[in-house]
Structure 1
Amino acid sequence: MIAKHRLYAGAALGLAAAAFGFGVARLTQPDAPAAHVAAPPAAETGPRDALTISPQAIAASQIGVAAAGTGTLDRAIIAAATVQATPDADAVLTARAPGTITRILVRMGDTVRAGQTLALIESRDASQITADRAAAAARVGLARRQLERERGLLAQGVSPRADFDAARANLSVAQADALRATAAAGAVRVTGDGRFVAVTSPISGRLTMTAARLGQYVAAETDLFHVADPRRLEITAAVPPGEAARIRSGDRVQLIVRDGQTIAGRVRAATGVVDPQSRTATVIVTPSASGSALAPGQMVQARIFASGGVAHDGVLVPQDAVQTLGGRDVVFLRTAGGFQAKPVQIAGRSGGTVAIADGIKAGTRIATRNAFLIKAELEKDMGGEE
């Protein structure tokens, strides 16, 4: 029994010594590293507002700098348009009578004047028309002599009044026949010798098409030549129906040709009729006297400054100068060290120009060409640096 108590006492003393040793070791050891706790994510930051850049870098990047201007921004309507000759400046020349083409006096591209003969057609119809005209003229002469004889007989009391009236009626009929024959000869352009029908141009212009061939037999009304006057042109612009209601006669138009040249014009008429195929309305534009760069069939772009649109007076800047940075419309002010983003309020846009309602004043120097390069550089820090 005594031996068992001694055993329990020894075990208790051993446990106590072990516990004391563990406590001493904890107190004498250096602090263990704290468990890694994830730091709260940093809040995302927007792009910077300022960019430091040297004049040499600005020149190398081809960033344009200019002063903001002033003026009036009209709400322009952009429309595709086609150049064509006016109805009285585009002539189709046909054969007035059947026959054989014996002479062609012009070539493609030649300039012709009104009344000029372009070709001759030898025609039997021309001979018949000439003969009819001569016979009608002879009948007029005969009827006139008979009337003069009846007038003399009536004055002498030899012939009754009825014979004189009949002679006068015969003269009127003969004159009507002669007028018809002369008109027929003129309509087919019969030459003086009565052998040929002349193909003549009713307008001055340039020969744009020829289908005539020497020795070719053609029927009446065969299409032989086209003549157009390039000085008398009009432009048909196709505009959306909703925009067409704002256009008025006399509205200013800017025509842009393929090489970037601009030509002034005016709206002559707005038809107000919507084409069922294209679903667009047609607006007729008359170019100014400087429209020599235009040609029939040419495609151009028309900027129509509709008087029914909204106009904005104030600060005007190029469209490329306005960028979106951090969800805001900004322009980049030129500073001593580079550029500073400046929020602006846009009043309207039209044809590559932006009207600024608030944010900058006229004369403020801003980045214009390649301003997007500044935006791209400022947005590099979006979300914080890594």
Structure 2
Amino acid sequence: MNQKNKLYVGGALGLAVAATLGFGAARLTQPVPAAPQTDSKPAAPGDSVTMSAQDVGQSQIAVGPAMAGALDAAVMASATVEAMPDAQAVLTAHAPGTVTRILKRIGDPVRAGEVLLLVESRDASQIAGDQAAAAARVALARQQAAREQSLVAQGVSARADYETAQANLAVAQAEARRAAGAAGAVRLARDGRSVAVVSPISGRITALPANLGQFVPAETELVRVADPRRIQITASLPVSDAARVRAGDKVELTSGDGGKIEGRVRSSTGVATADTRSATVVIEPSGGSFVPGQLAQVRIFASGLADGGGVKSGVIVPQDAVQTLGDRSVVFVRTDKGFKARPVQVGSRGEGLVSIASGLSAGTKIATSNAFLLKAEIEKNEGGDE
């Protein structure tokens, strides 16, 4: 390489070094952009769950209104399922005698006016004889009155004799009505020697203590009939609690299999009985499969104060209705498209209920059971977005 070429190469190297140094200095003097800041707090999950009515039913998510009242207004009691007073009957024989025919068995359906058994009775025979004799006297008195009327018309007999015959006919007819009334009162059978035991209502036979060939005194219970479709539930409460109960108060009934059924208070005596020292509250269930004689547990949401000074205020929901999303307590309000989580402030808890201090009004339809499924759905959607 000659001297001229060395100069060219040295100049090129110098220019390259100078360019590199200038670019580095420019980079050092430029401001460094700040790193993008990230929110350390995770984004709040979506509060809505889209769910059709069919999906709600398949998921067994119960929906009901939030209840008005305070937590201490709930009154717990044991109750008995009974047939309504006009839906049960205790049947007896109205005359002493021997049971000769039993036409039904326990559990059989019966119709109003149907004969269930026959009791052969000496009293029945006597009543049948009296009725026949009274009917004969009426026939004789009617003939005598007709004859005397004819004789008076012919001028043969005095009018006083006709009036006497008319009075005798009236007495005979009165005696016949008395005999017929006695026969009807004992339910005289067609055979003239038995009394019939007849059901006054339709229903089913729930008890049949009578036995064929058994001698039974008058008014002995032989059959018991009840209509299982018409029931009421009676609960015994201390007077202090019964004074807070009002007609129409909501009731939650728990059947033997643990199922929850709603009902309403029909009436309350408000006074204690002498034997139990407790007041009776009558409850009408809105459904269910209760049968007379069954036991149940009831929770009455009493609307009155013990001193009668007003109505309890507040909102109560089942404990299962309240769920936790992050640091929030929520209930799931029913919407047209599904459910929406609504934050609430929770008060006291007890007996499977939670009082809501704020965030929810009475009557709002919410998920009352299996609400955890909605919570799980929201949490699942939150995890899928990350």
TM-score, normalization by structure 1:
0.64
Cα distance change on mapping 1:268 and 1:334 into 2, 3 Å: same
Counterpart AA for 2:227? D
Matched, 1:226 2:224: yes
- 8 A Cα contact 1:190 1:196, kept in partner: yes
- 320, 334, 342: which is aligned to 2:326? 334
Cα distance change on mapping 1:183 and 1:277 into 2, 3 Å: closer
Q: Deviations over 1:116-137 (max 9, x none)?
A: 2221222232222111111101
1:251 and 1:320 map into 2 onto residues whose CA distance is 22
- 200, 204, 207: which is aligned to 2:205? 207
CA root-mean-square deviation: 3.3
1:189 match = 187
1:124 match = 122
- 68, 71, 93: which is aligned to 2:66? 71
Counterpart AA for 1:99? G
- 287, 305, 312: which is aligned to 1:310? 312
2:217 and 2:96 map into 1 onto residues whose CA distance is 4
Cα distance change on mapping 1:92 and 1:239 into 2, 3 Å: same
Cα distance change on mapping 1:306 and 1:157 into 2, 3 Å: farther
- Give 1:333 shift: 4.5
Cα distance change on mapping 1:122 and 1:179 into 2, 3 Å: same
Q: Deviations over 1:226-278 (max 9, x none)?
A: 11111221111122322222322233322221212233322221111113444
Specify the SS of the correspondent of 2:268: strand
Specify the SS of the correspondent of 1:158: coil
2:58 match = none
2:203 and 2:161 map into 1 onto residues whose CA distance is 56
Specify the SS of the correspondent of 1:118: strand
Specify the SS of the correspondent of 1:190: coil
- 103, 108, 112: which is aligned to 1:105? 103
2:154 match = 156
Matched, 1:145 2:169: no
State how many pairs are aligned: 280
Identity of aligned residues (%): 58
Matched, 1:170 2:168: yes
TM-score, normalization by structure 2:
0.64
Cα distance change on mapping 1:184 and 1:321 into 2, 3 Å: closer
- 8 A Cα contact 1:73 1:350, kept in partner: no
Specify the SS of the correspondent of 1:140: helix
- 8 A Cα contact 1:73 1:348, kept in partner: no
Q: Deviations over 1:323-364 (max 9, x none)?
A: xxxxxxxx854269xxxxxxx96556575232332599999x
1:46 match = none
Q: Deviations over 1:266-303 (max 9, x none)?
A: 22211111134443211111223x24x11222111222
Q: Deviations over 1:185-208 (max 9, x none)?
A: 122222222132222212111111
2:89 match = 91
Q: Deviations over 1:174-227 (max 9, x none)?
A: 111111111111222222221322222121111111122122222222221111
Higher-Rg structure is 1
- 181, 196, 199: which is aligned to 1:198? 196
1:360 and 1:146 map into 2 onto residues whose CA distance is 89
- 8 A Cα contact 2:67 2:317, kept in partner: no
- Segments of structure 2 that go 5 or more residues without pairing to the other structure are 1-60, 305-310, 329-343, 373-386
1:349 and 1:157 map into 2 onto residues whose CA distance is 101
